């Protein structure tokens, strides 16, 4: 294999060993899934089609038949079965996986532990980082899953969203003077956006349920000689924070809140934002290949009542891996 600079990568395994490694990884991943995860519970026939469609987004019955060696009529029947289970989306001639449905019920958070156990190592984080970089080189997105144990993420290694500075898409808003009054950074992590607001001389508060993140945020405030309040607090219960805010910043929290919690979050925000106050949100956008983002329509539906949506713009959410994910940047006013 020749790198762009002309150097040669020397693999310590041959192709058969690499193939076996891939199969072993699939086994480890399957065992790490919860028992009711669709990828685990679908029967072998439909699973062949589902796995092929996962590998080949936006495909057709004909293409799947060619790749899998199944007959077209078999593929059609299996596609129908998977669509009935809502694992495939009905897109006319094109076949697409419903990633949300495929991920549903997969409450096991990360592959780290089973992987580390299989490799007989204690350093789960290091193994996961290796896999992450491999996934990146294969062009796959690695984003935190919706039910990530955030507190554990902060304790273990640099989480992918922790870039050590504000997200550029939000910093741009700050430069334009969009942040004003009392500022709340909700799901603040290690506090970069609250500290950005504090640096502008605004009264800034950051809340997060991960105590490990709040501890780091407080340290950062001390080190940077900035005044900001940080507290462990649930974003779904902002009404009990005391006081209302003129600006609420949400960097990469919205997409992590799904199901019925979305409506709770909206109601919580309504209580925390003063009339006329603004909510600035950056979240992963929906897409293909394992994306866990949200659609523009979902944002519009969440803030359909009692809010004015000023803008939902395509943006980027940068990650510590050096890559950036497709995102939405929304500016929404509380009426
Ligand atoms: C992807 S991280 C983003 C952190 C930070 N905003 C940033 O941009 O670096 C999402 C954060 O939301 C926090 N979080 C998740 N659910 C929460 C909830 N219900 N209430 C408050 N924080 C929450 C997590 O602990 C995590 O720190």
Higher pLDDT residue, 176 or 290?
Answer: 176
Distance CA 279, CA 245 (A): 10
> Is the minimum distance from the CB of 252 to ligand 1 under 6 angstroms?
yes
> Is the minimum distance from the CB of 253 to ligand 1 under 6 angstroms?
yes
Distance CA 153, CA 208 (A): 13
- Which helix (H) or strand (E) segment holds residue 246: the answer is strand 245-251
> Is the minimum distance from the CB of 143 to ligand 1 under 6 angstroms?
no
What lies within 8 Å, CB to CB, of 99 at 6+ separation is 288, 290, 291, 292
> Is the minimum distance from the CB of 145 to ligand 1 under 6 angstroms?
no
Q: What pLDDT does residue 69 have?
A: 94
Higher pLDDT residue, 107 or 4?
Answer: 107
> Is the minimum distance from the CB of 158 to ligand 1 under 6 angstroms?
no
- Residue 138, phi-psi category: left (phi > 0), alpha (psi -120 to 50), beta (remainder): alpha
Q: Please give the distance, rounded to the nearest whole angstrom, from the Cα atom of residue 246 to the centre of ligand 1.
A: 20
Q: Please give the distance, rounded to the nearest whole angstrom, from the Cα atom of residue 137 to the centre of ligand 1.
A: 27
Structure tokens at 155: 């304790």
> Is the minimum distance from the CB of 187 to ligand 1 under 6 angstroms?
yes
Cα-Cα end-to-end distance for the chain: 58
Please say whether the beta carbons of 42 and 78 come within 8 A. no
Q: Which atom of ligand 1 is nearest to the CA of 282?
A: 8
Structure tokens at 272: 């925390």
Q: Whose CA is nearest to atom 14 of ligand 1?
A: 187
Q: What pLDDT does residue 149 have?
A: 66
**pLDDT digits 0-9 by tens, 38-87:** 777 888 899 999 989 988 888 999 999 999 999 999 999 999 999 988 88
Structure tokens at 254: 């919205």
Please say whether the beta carbons of 62 and 71 come within 8 A. no
> Is the minimum distance from the CB of 169 to ligand 1 under 6 angstroms?
no
Dihedral Cα 95, 99, 100, 104, nearest 10 deg: 110
Closest CA to 256 of 147, 133, 102, 178: 147
Q: What pLDDT does residue 21 have?
A: 75
> Is the minimum distance from the CB of 315 to ligand 1 under 6 angstroms?
no
**pLDDT digits 0-9 by tens, 162-182:** 899 999 999 999 999 999 999
Structure tokens at 24: 């072993």
Q: What pLDDT does residue 72 have?
A: 93
Please say whether the beta carbons of 331 and 310 come within 8 A. yes
Q: Please give the distance, rounded to the nearest whole angstrom, from the Cα atom of residue 69 to the centre of ligand 1.
A: 45
Q: What are residue 185's DSSP bridge partners?
A: 206, 249
Closest CA to 331 of 207, 172, 97, 182: 172
Q: Please give the distance, rounded to the nearest whole angstrom, from the Cα atom of residue 327 to the centre of ligand 1.
A: 16
Please say whether the beta carbons of 182 and 244 come within 8 A. yes
Choose one of 256, 280, 317 to mutate for the ligand 1 pocket test, by most ligand atoms within 8 angstroms of C-beta. Answer: 256
Structure tokens at 192: 């970069």
Cα 203 from chain centroid (whole Å): 29
Distance CA 48, CA 23 (A): 14
């Amino acid at each position: 294999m020749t790198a762009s600079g002309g150097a040669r990568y020397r693999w310590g395994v041959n192709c058969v060993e690499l193939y076996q490694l891939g199969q072993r990884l699939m086994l480890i991943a399957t065992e790490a899934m919860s028992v009711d995860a669709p990828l685990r519970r679908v029967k072998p026939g439909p699973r062949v089609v589902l796995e092929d469609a996962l590998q080949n987004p936006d495909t057709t019955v004909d293409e799947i038949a060619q790749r899998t060696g199944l007959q077209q009529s078999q593929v059609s029947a299996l596609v129908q079965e998977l669509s009935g289970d809502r694992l495939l989306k009905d897109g006319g001639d094109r076949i697409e996986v419903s990633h949300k449905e495929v991920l549903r019920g997969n409450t096991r958070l990360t592959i780290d532990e089973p992987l580390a156990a299989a490799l007989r190592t204690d350093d789960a984080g290091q193994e996961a980082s290796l896999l992450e970089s491999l996934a990146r080189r294969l062009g796959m997105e690695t984003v935190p899953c919706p039910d990530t144990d955030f507190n554990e993420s902060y304790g273990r290694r640099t989480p992918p969203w922790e870039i050590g500075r504000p997200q550029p898409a939000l910093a741009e808003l700050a430069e334009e003077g969009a942040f004003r009054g009392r500022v709340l950074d909700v799901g603040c992590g290690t506090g970069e956006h609250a500290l950005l607001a504090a640096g502008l001389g605004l009264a800034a508060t950051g809340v997060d349920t991960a105590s490990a993140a709040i501890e780091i945020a407080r340290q950062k405030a001390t080190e940077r000689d900035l005044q900001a309040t940080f507290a462990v607090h649930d974003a779904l219960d902002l009404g009990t924070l005391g006081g209302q805010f003129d600006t609420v910043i949400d960097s990469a929290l919205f997409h992590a809140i799904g199901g019925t919690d979305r409506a709770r979050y909206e109601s919580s925000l309504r209580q925390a934002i003063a009339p006329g106050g603004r909510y600035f949100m950056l979240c992963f956008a929906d897409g293909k290949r394992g994306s866990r983002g949200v659609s523009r329509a979902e944002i519009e539906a969440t803030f359909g009542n009692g809010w004015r949506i000023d803008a939902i713009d395509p943006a980027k959410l940068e990650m510590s891996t050096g890559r950036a994910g497709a995102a939405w940047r929304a500016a929404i006013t509380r009426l």
